[in-house]
Every structure is written in structure tokens, then in C-alpha cells.
Structure 1
């Protein structure tokens, strides 16, 4: 589902769900498939082969040499090992572009996993496992592991580094792990999409773990989006957008247990689940006040991180925080901005967020600057009973067949929770009368007592939540969504009771005329 919404900044933005993105990718693939060629690469192949399915190349570099815009390079399963103490900083360099509507695709062969292993690739350089310096490329289903940081007087290496103004690339269903630096880092380039990918257990021991993020974007170019990703057990942050002059979007992603040496409780890097912006502490390096990027952080879950769930990181401007859930962090939402806020005010916009079970649910929030409504700290107390589960079972379980995140009970709202339909409508699809609070939209759509029907009991529950002011206009909202009272009680005759007063309802029927299923 796609909608056009207007942000508080007044700029229109396009809201496209994870499934919508996936559908768009499939349609684009279908359009170009008829006119494209296919090439095959296998660990058992040879670069002197023809590249046919029964005569595959041995290297992805040879596949790139053969491919033209619109072509697909199929990567057969198995290990692609790189070794040696001499060689380029770019173990694999992508410098041939596809074209609009005709990307070059580097896809895992169906049902197989190509694993690029760089543990033994150790030239004395800052290593890039994949250096992406081209446009209109699409990567899918690839595992990258073991990128090393050989020299210790500079910062991290990278599993994937997007650079050289690389635009319009897609990184899909990747598994990036055990690298001595970030899993995927956008240094330069715009309109890149990172979707349904995992980055975990990355740790740079030579720097004490301070640079190995799951994902990062510091680009000058706009349009970079991270959708449906997971970042966990990274020694620094899960997602890091510090020093990004252009706005970045993070949607529908999960981040947990970042900031430790992987597999331990030993502190390492900064430990934010989502570090959503910032430019350090020297205001001389800040952008002009009207040029500070307004990053969008929407629909994300961040829990059990060492420092913060969601962190503004001294960001000298506004960030949009919409429909996120923070749980089990020392600080749920940390909006720290302490460098000349009179010049660079942190006018953050916060709606529909859940912060529960953190040592501090909201911290460093300047009430004279931020715009926050319809969040848990604005509305009502939250308890464990509001959720199906507060135990993070299954968060790292396999993804669904389409690459989307697994559906689990953790931090999803329970039937009857006051957080259902308590949000503000901002353009994202929702069930019921209004968006739910937090990262997950429930499927109860008016069935507040979860008995399989929308009826008088649900209406009474909804009505009482409105508080002491209730009107026929409010009732019309219910009717528009779920149906009307029986004819014996006309809608126009609905009284305006005080909070808790009863209305003698006989029945309410679903708008579709049958029980909700």
C-alpha cells in the first residue's frame, strides 16, 4: 500500500511498506527479464568458461565483465574464498553500471547461498569486501563475512562500502556478519535502498569496537533508505547516521544488543540501537540551521542495547520519530542536544511511539522545542499486559519466504491494550479507527476484546477510552469504520454521556455485515 503524506516540515514524502517495495522490485524484474541475458558464477567454475549454467565463471568480477544493463549474474551456492597479504583494498570492485529500468543483478541462485569469505584476505589496507562504485545495481541473497582490519592506525574496514557517488542501487536479503567494521556503509551516493537485510556480530577489536556498526549512512546525497533490516550484536551501534549531510530514512527495522563485544556483556562501542543523526560537538562543523537534515525514523523496534534505544546524538535540528518501540534499554528515547540549541534547535517531532521497560523512557527532551503527542509518555501508563510478549524470542529467527521479518509476539500489542488506535494518522496504513502506538500495527481493527466480532462490548470499550468529552461526532467516527446501531436506536439519538456512563446498546454490526475474521 502506498500513500502520499506531508511531514511536519511541509515536504511531501512517499510512504511505501516493505511488501510494497518487494512488489515493485519484482515488477521491475519482470519488465526487463524478457530482454536480458543470464550469466552464472560458481566456486567450482573457471573464468575461462562461457558463463552458461553448465559452464560457469569462477568469480563475480568475471560476471561483471560479461554483464550488460538488464542482465542477471546468478551466483551459485558455496564459499567464495579470498586470501593473501597483497592485493587491492577493494576485494571485489563493482564499477560497471546498469541503467534505469535495466539494473545489473547479482542474485543468489534460487535455494542456494553464495558466501563471500574474507577472513584470509589481509593486505595492509582498509579493506572493502564489496566496493560499490556504480549505479543501478541490485544485490540479493548474498552472505559476506570476515572482512579484516589489518592496520591499526586508522578506523574500520567495511563489508560493503557504497562510494564514488553510487546511486540507485538495491541491497536485498544480505547476511553481513563477523566483519571488523560496519556491515554496510553508504559513504557517498543517493537513492540507495537497503531492504530485508541482516548485519550482526561485527566487531573491530583494534579500535575497541567503536566503529563496527550494523548499518550506516553518511552521504551527501538524499534518498537513502533502510527498510525491514535487522542489526544485532554489533560492537558499536545498530544503525548510525552521524555526519550525514543528507536526510536518511529508517523504516520497519529491528536493532538489539549493540554496544558489546559480540557474545559477551563486555562494553565496547557506543551502544545505540539507532543513532539517528548528529555532527559531533564542534558547532563550527555543523550545517547551516536551515540545511540540517531531517531524518525519518519510523516503525522501528530497538531493545536491550547497551546505551540507548533511539538516540539523537546532539543532532542540531529536528528528527521525525514516528511509531517506534523502545524496550529494555538504559534510555528509551534520548534526544540529547546540548550544543548551541538557540542556533540549532532540536525541534524533534514525535508521534505514536512506545517507550516501555527502559531505565528512562524519555531523556534530554527539551519540552519547549520538541513537538510530541500521542506517545506513551503523553497518554497513559503502560504495563506488560499491553503486549503479547515482552520476551524477545524469535527475533533472530529465519525471515519469511519473501525476505520480510518474522512475525512473532514480542512487543506486539495484546487485545484490549489501550495503545491500540491511540495514535495520530500520518499517512501510514493502519487498521481500526487510528494507528496503534509502537512499531507494530495490530490486526484487531475494532475487535478490542478479541472475540472475533465487532459488537457492543467493543463499542463500549472504545467509547470509554475517549474520556469525559464524548459527542455524536465521535459516534459518527465509529459508524464510518464499524457500522451502526440497530434502527431502534438512531444514530442521531446517541446521547453525550459523562465518562463511564452507559448507553443502552442492543447491537452493533460490522460494516461488512459479518463477524471480523
Structure 2
């Protein structure tokens, strides 16, 4: 049974991020297919769903293209940022499914429906194709976030994941229960594996690991994350080309408190994390360690709520204990974990790009 996801408020997403999801969802969207498209449609950020869907008069949304596409058709997405302001679903309950793009139409054998980035308008070199920013996932029957069998780089940032791996609303065990499952290919080595990044994110009270490499063949980046009460908080289990277990991960400025801090860490690149520095940890280091209220309403602009939970206290020894990793920070050095003591001080960490 597919777990029900709790989705964030609708925010702008890039064309390349959309394509990363579509490629995994639409049959026959690989370059290997050679069938001739029956009709070519166009979608652009400055388009209109009342237009003709041509290159000169593109539509504005994937949904409009999806409604018109037939087997053999091609839909080109022009480069840019697509702002979604409405969704499918009425949010009638906290477990309701709400999505902005629904792919409920398939092509046929030899005549798939293709969704392509417009030639010359793909992802710039060196940038992640898929970004999850400001998301929340909780009480899913399996994992919160799962990047298994993902062949393009994914960045997850400023996101929260808690109480996954249980029947929703209970503590009855269900699926795997990782907060962030970052890669892997079914416990097998795959030479096409890419590096993923999780940063400024929080995982707590998940049934299994808070942050889990899941037998990933390459070292993912974990930067400025907070893990609380997971089993364990960080698990860097990877795999070698020969299929043997190995430790894989690059970790900086992370915080693990309550529960088992780490596992499979010996061969990873781990420095300036709470367990490396021996920082004394107690509830007094935080403004609050409450695990309630994380599903509070978003701010007016759509950002996650500003909470005191797992945020360092003003005199916390977590402040200025990290190392510069090329991301904005305030103070003498980055703080440990996902949050700075105040919302103002955290603003550089919440910078939107």
C-alpha cells in the first residue's frame, strides 16, 4: 500500500525539477524510444492555459498539457520557474492527498507520451535537477523521503520528517520507517549512482534511521541537519562495487541528540558534528525539545512555521561550533544542526535560490 504523503504548500518549482519527477512517472520517456510524435505541445512559465499550446502560444501548466496529450505526443517545457497556486484535492483532512501535477494518462507501446526540457533549456551544469525545499513528511506508513533508484542528483533542504514507519496516527509498526532515505538501489551496487544532498533538515522519532544512506554506492552530503530520537539518528550504510557493506557519507555540522547517534560511520568523512566534537548535550541546550506542534500552519508566504523546538538556546554550546562549508551563516562559525537560535539569525540558512 502506498503511504499517504503530507505535502507542503504549493511553491515555485523549476522546469528541471518537474522533469525529474515526470521521467520517473511516465512510461517510455527515455531517449531510446524512436516513435514519431503525433503532436508537439509547449508549456512555459509565461504561457496561458487558454492559449493554443504551440511554441508561439504555449500553455502555462503541465496539467493543461496532460489533458491534451495523446499517445505519441511530445510536450516541451520551456526553461524557468513554474508557480503553482492551486492543486488537485480539497485538503479535507490532515491525511488528504494533494498534488499539483497528476499524471493519469499513459501512452502505448512504441508511442509513449514524452515530456522533455526544451532543447538548450535544461539544467545548468553543476546544479541539482530536483530540489525539495520547505517540505514536511510525517506519519507515513513507510519512509518520509525515499530516493531509492534515483539517477539524477536530488537536494533536500529546510525540510522536516517525523514519526514515519507507523500506521498513520499510531505507534503500530508498518514499513521501513526512515526519515530521509537518501539513495540506494535495492542493496545492490549500481555504477550510475549520483550524489544527493540533505541539509538544514530535521528528523525525529522515526521508526528507523533519521538520515539513512540505504546502501548507496557513493557518499552523499549531509550538512547542518538535526536528528532527535531516531534509531539511529544517522546511518551511513553504503555498498562497494563488489557488493560488500561500506560506510558512505560526508557529514558536517550535524547534530544528533537522544537515541543512538550514529551507525556505519567509521569509513565516512565525518567532522565538526556533535558526536565528533564531544559537545555535551542535554535538554537545556535547546529552547524546547517538544515533538508536538511541528504540523502547525505555514507562514503567510508559505514558509514552514518558526518554532522553538530543537532550536539552540541563546547560550547553547551548539552555537559557532561548526565549520564553513561555503553556505551562508552568521556569527564566528556555523552553528550545529538545522537551526540558529533566532529566526533572524537563521535567515541566511533560509535563503531561497
Query: Where on the TM-score scale, by shorter chain, does this alignment land: which range?
Result: 0.5 to 0.7
Query: Partner of 1:69 in structure 2?
Result: 58
Deviation of the 1:439 alpha carbon? 0.7
Query: Partner of 1:143 in structure 2?
Result: none
Q: Identify which of 140, 151, 157 aligns with 1:234.
A: 140
| Structural mapping, 1:16-415, within 5 Å | 37=48, 68-69=57-58, 71=60, 96-101=75-80, 107-108=85-86, 115=89, 130-131=102-103, 164=114, 167=117, 223-282=129-188, 286-288=189-191, 291-337=192-238, 346-358=247-259, 360-365=260-265, 367=266, 369-379=267-277, 380-415=279-314
Given that 2:143 and 2:178 are in contact with CA atoms closer than 8 Å, whether structure 1 keeps it comes out as yes
Given that 2:160 and 2:203 are in contact with CA atoms closer than 8 Å, whether structure 1 keeps it comes out as yes
Q: In structure 2, list runs of 5 or more residues that go unmatched.
A: 1-10, 16-43, 92-99, 106-112, 346-353
Q: 1:71 to 1:416 in 2, by over 3 A?
A: same
Q: State the distance in 1 between where 2:261 and 2:183 align.
A: 19
Q: Deviations over 1:287-307 (max 9, x none)?
A: 23xx43111111110011111
Q: 1:306 to 1:102 in 2, by over 3 A?
A: closer
Q: State the distance in 2 between where 1:397 and 1:429 align.
A: 27
Q: State the distance in 1 between where 2:61 and 2:239 align.
A: 50
Given that 1:318 and 1:345 are in contact with CA atoms closer than 8 Å, whether structure 2 keeps it comes out as no
Aligned residues: 282
SS where residue 372 of structure 1 aligns?
Answer: strand
Q: 1:68 to 1:238 in 2, by over 3 A?
A: farther
Deviation of the 1:308 alpha carbon? 1.1
Q: Identify which of 313, 324, 328 aligns with 1:425.
A: 324
Q: Deviations over 1:70-117 (max 9, x none)?
A: 647999xxxxxxxxxxxxxx99979744422485x6533xxxx76269
Q: State the distance in 1 between where 2:101 and 2:63 align.
A: 19
Q: 1:252 to 1:166 in 2, by over 3 A?
A: farther
Deviation of the 1:69 alpha carbon? 2.6
Q: 1:344 to 1:249 in 2, by over 3 A?
A: farther
Q: In structure 1, list runs of 5 or more residues that go unmatched.
A: 1-20, 26-31, 40-50, 52-62, 76-89, 118-127, 134-162, 169-189, 193-220, 447-517
Structure ID, larger Rg: 1
Given that 2:234 and 2:262 are in contact with CA atoms closer than 8 Å, whether structure 1 keeps it comes out as yes
Q: State the distance in 2 between where 1:237 and 1:23 align.
A: 23
Deviation of the 1:279 alpha carbon? 1.4
Deviation of the 1:406 alpha carbon? 0.4
Query: Partner of 1:416 in structure 2?
Result: 315
Given that 2:299 and 2:305 are in contact with CA atoms closer than 8 Å, whether structure 1 keeps it comes out as yes
The alignment's TM-score, normalised by the length of structure 1, stands at 0.47
Q: Deviations over 1:374-400 (max 9, x none)?
A: 100011221111111100232101111
Q: 1:101 to 1:373 in 2, by over 3 A?
A: closer
Deviation of the 1:345 alpha carbon? 5.3
Given that 1:319 and 1:347 are in contact with CA atoms closer than 8 Å, whether structure 2 keeps it comes out as yes
SS where residue 337 of structure 1 aligns?
Answer: strand
Deviation of the 1:246 alpha carbon? 2.4
Structure whose residues are more often strand by fraction: 1
Q: Deviations over 1:33-66 (max 9, x none)?
A: 9x75475xxxxxxxxxxx9xxxxxxxxxxx989x
Deviation of the 1:339 alpha carbon? 5.5
SS where residue 261 of structure 2 aligns?
Answer: strand
Q: Deviations over 1:106-155 (max 9, x none)?
A: 533xxxx76269xxxxxxxxxx981189xxxxxxxxxxxxxxxxxxxxxx
SS where residue 58 of structure 2 aligns?
Answer: coil
Q: 1:416 to 1:307 in 2, by over 3 A?
A: same
Q: 1:71 to 1:312 in 2, by over 3 A?
A: closer
Q: Deviations over 1:341-387 (max 9, x none)?
A: 798854421100000012x111121x2x2111110001122111111
SS where residue 198 of structure 2 aligns?
Answer: strand
Deviation of the 1:225 alpha carbon? 1.2
Q: 1:93 to 1:274 in 2, by over 3 A?
A: farther
The alignment's TM-score, normalised by the length of structure 2, stands at 0.67
